[in-house]
Structure 1
């Protein structure tokens, strides 16, 4: 396992995770009825993935957020077939989904140079259109960031997520002794000695009832979907939002966090999860940690303490449980190592699954090709005819 050397934080000022754009394909060119000439097709509008692009850069570079492709050339005596209009390319970050005004998914950009057609150019004038050109497609599209970080920090307010982010990545998020310090994602990066980089997002604080859109609600939970793994951050001494709300012990906060995620989207259970038990510098923290470990090893023995509607269908199984203190730095190096190991393992599993699928597709394709070959019996019968 590689121990971390220097760490670096990259601040994303005025973070943007979605953008609305107007797009229009180019109009076709005029046809030439007397000589049967065809006008050129209008240019198309494409969204193209670029690794170093962000939605904020896109917005700053094109403040009007209008993208119109070029018109097709008219047919003329010297060129009976008009040339196609110039395509328009919208540079966008990797990891976005593109939807239309009705929320219907047009496509996703998952790797560098992926491209998606979002507005088609109009046909040029030809016999089929009575030699009159057609206008290009108009479309308002939404670019939504699908993946904002490798690891998303999950926890109730004051669990110490902002302090933890500042420890692992030298970030300088706003930290204060009150709830809801984080109102938008704070992104940091851990850089390891071999220059491997892992991005970490501290997301707006989750509260009970977030799935019903209380507090930051769905805005928070939407970001959770966009991380590869979850890192639960829990205060060993428990959590109480205010004097009017119920005190929750560490084990209870884990159960409640799990329930909130499940109520929003059950698939979140499939994400690998780690648990950082924070504030281990507090008095009696060790005793509380041993108690918590016992509860996590035998969760079903303690679920009778909860109201039925608070119990999740499935208890999260953490890949690693690490006691830490974001204040003193205790356990931070071990946590970084565990994050790295977990993400490497996930990448290996995804690669294995991808190669297995390729092999299976190849076998199926070979089987289909083989089954289409005529058998000896078929050849014999045809000769008899």
Structure 2
């Protein structure tokens, strides 16, 4: 129950059992009622924690069909049950076969069929309903997914540009569960941004947060990579990685998990530009990214991706100290999302295969 009190679950295993069919009435040829079905339905303001709270024992059983009787030749049908889940839920069987996805409010999937009622075809014996375990797996749906190693400043950025209030501290793995914030504009437009738990090297193989994080990236329209201009070191036993190495490793982790993610529209945010010598480090980073294949030749082979991400823009910023840089980030994210939405409407078949390649730009922000 500890997990339930945290208020966020992204995976839940349930036992579902359709209702049994009612007995027939041989004397009058009566037919028993069909057992109730069990459905999974996407509901507004639902989450898997609420689903668990409704049935802590994780068992959902629909109603049995009524028996046929002298004054009711056709038995009443058993009561159906709908399991409420959030939008973005995938339903699987225990062997990982997918039953379906619920991507819009009102989407409904049959997960356990009720048994047929007793009739001449089955010697008037009602049949048992389907019974098995299912797995509900939530993949967050957001416009933008924040991608970065721990302590890159993702939560600070989310707090600065949206209504989210994530936990922020100066140590790795402050974010232990996804946070979604809404960036609002004066004209009423809103953009959803998901701050996801920090990756570590090997996440594609389920190291650290592993798949628990990466599965949430799959349903975002755009990826916002964030790196610390000073690089990152997880701990004393780990090597220090420069900003360039962080970009390459993030690229590699996503490619290993799902090569399709490398094709997604992406922006690179270079954070903590208020730190000493940041401008010199930024200049070096931009030069190395222009010749990234040559730079990667010096790295161990296991670090280097087969396909490099093409960033639509590289933006230096200080999520904590510089409000002007954050305003620019917010505006550019909206412009890029609108651009790709227009591309999808004009030529969806081309947009799926080819991305517009924008020349890397250095912004003219006065970074402090």
Report TM bin, short chain: 0.7 to 0.9
Q: Which residue of 2 aligns with 1:74?
A: 67
Cα pair 1:22 1:139 within 8 Å, conserved = yes
Q: Find the residue that maps to 1:48 and give its secondary structure.
A: strand
Q: Which residue of 1 aligns with 2:207?
A: 214
Relative distance call for 1:244 and 1:141 in structure 2 (3 A) is closer
1:162-181 maps to which residues of 2 (within 5 A)? 162-181=155-174
Q: Which residue of 2 aligns with 1:301?
A: 294
TM-score (norm 1): 0.83
Aligned residues: 345
Q: Find the residue that maps to 2:84 and give its secondary structure.
A: strand
Structure 1, 197-206 or 249-258: larger mean CA deviation: 197-206
Moved over 6 A (4+): none
State which structure, 1 or 2, has the greater radius of gyration over its C-alpha atoms: 1
Q: CA deviation at 1:351?
A: 4.1
Instruction: Give the structure, 1 or 2, with the largest relative contact order (CA under 8 Å, sep 6 or more).
Output: 1
Q: Which residue of 2 aligns with 1:332?
A: 326
Q: Find the residue that maps to 1:305 and give its secondary structure.
A: coil
Relative distance call for 1:13 and 1:186 in structure 2 (3 A) is farther
Question: Could you tell me which of 162, 165, 188 is aligned with 1:195?
Answer: 188
Cα deviation digits, residues 104-160 of structure 1 (max 9, x gap): 111111112111000100010011111110111112211111224322211112211
Q: Find the residue that maps to 2:297 and give its secondary structure.
A: helix
Cα deviation digits, residues 242-278 of structure 1 (max 9, x gap): 3443222211110111111112222221322111110
Q: Find the residue that maps to 2:79 and give its secondary structure.
A: coil
Cα pair 2:8 2:47 within 8 Å, conserved = no
Question: Could you tell me which of 122, 131, 139 is aligned with 1:138?
Answer: 131
Q: Which residue of 2 aligns with 1:40?
A: 33
Question: Is 2:163 the partner of 1:186?
Answer: no
Question: Could you tell me which of 99, 122, 126 is aligned with 1:129?
Answer: 122
d(CA) in 2 for partners of 1:38 and 1:170?
Answer: 58
Q: Which residue of 1 aligns with 2:340?
A: 346
Relative distance call for 1:122 and 1:196 in structure 2 (3 A) is same
Cα pair 1:145 1:226 within 8 Å, conserved = no
d(CA) in 2 for partners of 1:41 and 1:105?
Answer: 26
d(CA) in 2 for partners of 1:37 and 1:214?
Answer: 59
Relative distance call for 1:349 and 1:57 in structure 2 (3 A) is farther
d(CA) in 1 for partners of 2:341 and 2:49?
Answer: 28
Q: CA deviation at 1:281?
A: 1.1
List gaps (5 residues or longer) in structure 1: 1-11, 357-385
d(CA) in 1 for partners of 2:189 and 2:47?
Answer: 21
d(CA) in 1 for partners of 2:34 and 2:345?
Answer: 41
d(CA) in 2 for partners of 1:210 and 1:182?
Answer: 16
d(CA) in 2 for partners of 1:67 and 1:243?
Answer: 48
Q: Which residue of 1 aligns with 2:104?
A: 111
Q: CA deviation at 1:170?
A: 4.6
Cα pair 1:190 1:198 within 8 Å, conserved = yes
d(CA) in 2 for partners of 1:144 and 1:317?
Answer: 30
TM-score (norm 2): 0.87
d(CA) in 2 for partners of 1:247 and 1:255?
Answer: 14
Q: Find the residue that maps to 1:228 and give its secondary structure.
A: strand
d(CA) in 2 for partners of 1:349 and 1:127?
Answer: 59
Query: RMSD value over aligned CA atoms?
Result: 2.2
Relative distance call for 1:351 and 1:40 in structure 2 (3 A) is farther
Question: Could you tell me which of 287, 311, 324 is aligned with 1:318?
Answer: 311
Question: Could you tell me which of 256, 274, 278 is aligned with 1:285?
Answer: 278
List gaps (5 residues or longer) in structure 2: 351-368
More helix by share: 1
Q: Find the residue that maps to 1:302 and give its secondary structure.
A: helix
